[in-house]
Amino acid sequence: MDLLTSLRISASGLAAQRKRMESVSSNIANAQTTRTAEGGPYRKKEVVFGSEPARDSFADILEGELDEKAQTVHVTEVINSDKPPILKYEPAHPDANKDGYVAYPDINVMEEMANMIEAQRAYEANISAVNTTKSMAMKTLEIGRN
């Protein structure tokens, strides 16, 4: 695998983890949102990752020079959770139903914080891979000078 492919794989990981972080941030910010434009409480967003071969062009595929196992990651979709809302008895709340229950999103803030930390660590790992690749490229250039 060449250095550019390595950078491309790390960059795809950075983009995917950024999207995941945006989703988690949205979930935390809306953990108490009982009314949305679509109606009803906020629905938790979940990011789905997919992979594809790390190839630049059709010529690369035909030549078969790249490692077959090298994969880039991408976000295939962002889905809304299908978990039912949590009902809490709050008859004075403006969004309470006729029985006095308010529908809140089924979002566990602690779980979302753990997801955020996991996304941050994965992002940091991809940054480390980019920096290592850059260091290898610089060392390669130094070999050519001597």
Range of the domain at 13: 3-145
Total tally of structural domains belonging to the chain: 1
pLDDT tens-digit profile of 39-57? Answer: 889 999 999 999 887 766 6
Q: How high is the mean pLDDT of the chain?
A: 88
Give the model confidence (pLDDT) of 73-121 as tens digits.
889 999 999 999 999 999 999 999 999 999 999 999 999 999 999 999 9
Whole-angstrom Cα distance, residue 41 to residue 39? 7
Separation CA 60–CA 128 (nearest Å): 27
